[in-house]
Structure formats: structure tokens, C-alpha cells
């Protein structure tokens, strides 16, 4: 006997459109080095490029918040998808630099988009945030809890940088990237996997908090660069292979690798471990710096809009960040 449930077609999710936004202020390494020199901090374009591959980054204006950056990125993704804001029934914003303690940056973005009623919340997984958010949205769409989702990474990391620490302040930038994820009869998101290991909370953190109207602890970013590097290369290869196995795919099936844009050495090391030619590596870290949760969707949008990534190609997204968190998503565009 055939039941109605057995006739129900599988429900998948697929990226319908991408968008991004970078603040107007762009700082080259030379310009940033000149600013830092006025405060007695020595660095140079050569020093930064050699260690990170970064050549420039964007900083938000003093009155720009993470939701302000998210808004044009969201609108661009909606336009690319051909979806009206009113059709969105889920908003997830991945950010470590929210506008305020609460409400969520997602709710503030919802207000700015002029819509109401749909679920809206933030995801805090630092540089892995977009991968986390995309995985959550995929699960909600597959379950029927949502049909069209906005997933956004938005950061104003310039607000939490210690500009007396040249090992960290030269690394980060601000920006936002977005995708519209929609229900589909054919798979778009093929597989994903998320991980965290709280034993490593101290190697990358901003340990300050607000209490009684005052900041307690250290409110600026702290990082053990060598420890992060060692962990990142190892976990990114493992999670990529786990996701490939889950999707019944191999290294050869990857058309493009978009890792978190933190350091060109980590990115190239991951590509080599996956036996991918560097030509398949999408790189924007040179122009954007490390934009944390915004880095993957920023790179994805840049590659899609330039024609580098084409419809139907298979893309591996990978993120790793403070927490220590990491994860990967394999998708067909």
C-alpha cells in the first residue's frame, strides 16, 4: 500500500543568490603602517604580505554597525535571487561584533529590511559563523520550518582590534556577505559538518564583557597565531574529507575551494592537502583581510559576480575560528 508520505518528494536547499558589501574606507598596508607609526607601532607592507598575503582591508565608518553593513549585502543577494524581502521566512546573521548586547543583529536587520514576523537570530561561531549559519538554515529548510532564508556574515572587527599589537591589528577588516537559500527539489547543499573544541578558547578570544555599565576584562582581540595556524590546517583537511565522504564525493569533484580568508599560508596549505591546484582556490584575503564570519560569503559573491564560479559547479566552503570552532559545507551552485 502506498502512503501519502511515501509519495512526498525529498526537500533540499539551494543558494539562489549572493551579495556582499564593503565599507567605503579602504586601507592599504602602507596606509595602515603610516597610521600605526604615529603611535610607535612598526610594521610594513612587506612584513604583512610575507606573513599573511594581505595587501588591503576595509574599515567601517564610526557610525556604521554590523547591521548597516549587512543591509546592502542582503539587498544584493535578494536582487540576485529574484526574491522579495517579504518572501524571507528566516534570517540568520553570523557575527562576533553585534550592534548591541541585544536584540540580535538579525532582528535589527529585519527592521531595516522593512519586514516582520519571520524568525531572526544571530549565530556566534566567530570565523566559522557563516558555515554554522548556512548549516542551520539548510536543516530548517529541509525540515520544512523555512522556505527562503537570508544567511549573512557581517563584521566590524576594527572595533575590537588592539592597534598597539601589530601581530593582530594588521590582519582584520570589516564587511558583509550574504546568500539567499531556498527550498529545492534538487540538492544544492550536498553535505555539511560542524565541530568545536572549547579546550582551545584561549588561543583566539576577546575576553571582555559588560557588567554594571562597565567593561570587565580585556575588550580587545587576543590571538596566539602559531597555535591557531597549527590547529587550523589540520582540522580543515579533516572536516573537508569528512564532508566529501558524507556526500559520496572525492577531492576530484571539487571545482572551487573557498576557505575562511584568514591567511594565505593556511589557505594554500589546505588546498595542497586536498590535492587541489591553487588555481581552484578562491582568494580575496589580499584585498579584504580577515573579515571573520563575512569572509566566506564575501569571497563567494566576488567569485560568482566575476564569473569565476559558474552555475552547476561544486564548491567547498570551510571555516575555522575562535572557540575553537570549525566546519565545512559542500554545495552545488
Which residues lie across from 152 on neighbouring strands?
Answer: 93, 178
- pLDDT tens digits, residue range 134-189? 999 999 999 999 999 999 999 999 999 999 999 999 999 999 999 999 999 999 99
Output the tens digit of pLDDT for each of the chain's 333 residues.
444 444 567 899 999 999 999 999 999 999 999 999 999 999 999 999 999 999 999 999 999 999 999 999 999 999 999 999 999 999 999 999 999 999 999 999 999 999 999 999 999 999 999 999 999 999 999 999 999 999 999 999 999 999 999 999 999 999 999 999 999 999 999 999 999 999 999 999 999 999 999 999 999 999 999 999 999 999 999 999 999 999 999 999 999 999 999 999 999 999 999 999 999 999 999 999 999 999 999 999 999 999 999 999 999 999 999 999 999 999 999
When computed from its CA atoms, the radius of gyration of the chain, rounded to whole angstroms, is 19
The question of whether 263 is a catalytic residue gets the answer: no
Whether the Cβ atoms of residue 221 and residue 157 lie closer than 8 Å to each other: yes
Number of residues written out for the chain: 333
- pLDDT tens digits, residue range 8-50? 678 999 999 999 999 999 999 999 999 999 999 999 999 999 9
Whether the Cβ atoms of residue 126 and residue 262 lie closer than 8 Å to each other: no
- Any idea which residue has 559576480 for its cell? 305
Q: Which of 118, 263, 288, 290 is catalytic?
A: 290
The question of whether 127 is a catalytic residue gets the answer: yes
Q: Which of 29, 260, 263, 288 is catalytic?
A: 260
Query: What domains are there in the chain, each with its CATH number?
Result: 12-184 (3.40.47.10), 189-332 (3.40.47.10)
The question of whether 260 is a catalytic residue gets the answer: yes
pLDDT of residue 9: 77
Task: Give the global pTM.
Answer: 0.96
E strands in the chain = 12-21, 25-28, 56-59, 90-94, 119-123, 148-156, 174-184, 189-196, 204-205, 209-211, 214-216, 222-223, 256-259, 314-321, 325-332
Q: Which of 118, 127, 169, 205 is catalytic?
A: 127
pLDDT of residue 82: 98
Amino acid at each position: 500500500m502506498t502512503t501519502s508520505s511515501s509519495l512526498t518528494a525529498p526537500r533540499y536547499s539551494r543558494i539562489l543568490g549572493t551579495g556582499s558589501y564593503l565599507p567605503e574606507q579602504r586601507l592599504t598596508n602602507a596606509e595602515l603602517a603610516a597610521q600605526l607609526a604615529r603611535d610607535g607601532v612598526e610594521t610594513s607592507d612587506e612584513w604583512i604580505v610575507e606573513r599573511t598575503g594581505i595587501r588591503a582591508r576595509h574599515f567601517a565608518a564610526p557610525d556604521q554597525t554590523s547591521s548597516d553593513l549587512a543591509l546592502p549585502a542582503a539587498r544584493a543577494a535578494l536582487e540576485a535571487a529574484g526574491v522579495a524581502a517579504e518572501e524571507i521566512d528566516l534570517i540568520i546573521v553570523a557575527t562576533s561584533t553585534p550592534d548591541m548586547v541585544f536584540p540580535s543583529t538579525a532582528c535589527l536587520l529585519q527592521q531595516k529590511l522593512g519586514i516582520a514576523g519571520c524568525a531572526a537570530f544571530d549565530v556566534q561561531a566567530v570565523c566559522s559563523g557563516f558555515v554554522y549559519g548556512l548549516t542551520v538554515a539548510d536543516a530548517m529548510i529541509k525540515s520544512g520550518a523555512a522556505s527562503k532564508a537570508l544567511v549573512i556574515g557581517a563584521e566590524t572587527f576594527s572595533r575590537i582590534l588592539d592597534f598597539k599589537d601589530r601581530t593582530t591589528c594588521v590582519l582584520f577588516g570589516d564587511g558583509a556577505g550574504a546568500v539567499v537559500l531556498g527550498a529545492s527539489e534538487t540538492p544544492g547543499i550536498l553535505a555539511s559538518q560542524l565541530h568545536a573544541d572549547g579546550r582551545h578558547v584561549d588561543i583566539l578570544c576577546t575576553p571582555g564583557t559588560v557588567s554594571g555599565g562597565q567593561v570587565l576584562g580585556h575588550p580587545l582581540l587576543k590571538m596566539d597565531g602559531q597555535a591557531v595556524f597549527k590547529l587550523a590546517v589540520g582540522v580543515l583537511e579533516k572536516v573537508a574529507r569528512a564532508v566529501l565522504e558524507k556526500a559520496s564525493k572525492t577531492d576530484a569533484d571539487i571545482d572551487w575551494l573557498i576557505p575562511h580568508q584568514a591567511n594565505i599560508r593556511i589557505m594554500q596549505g589546505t588546498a595542497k592537502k586536498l590535492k587541489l591546484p591553487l588555481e581552484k582556490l578562491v582568494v580575496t584575503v589580499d584585498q579584504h583581510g580577515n573579515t571573520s564570519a563575512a569572509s566566506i560569503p564575501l569571497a563567494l559573491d566576488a567569485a560568482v559576480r566575476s564569473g569565476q564560479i559558474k552555475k552547476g559547479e561544486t564548491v567547498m566552503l570551510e571555516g575555522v575560528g575562535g572557540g575553537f570552532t570549525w566546519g565545512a559545507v559542500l554545495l552545488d551552485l
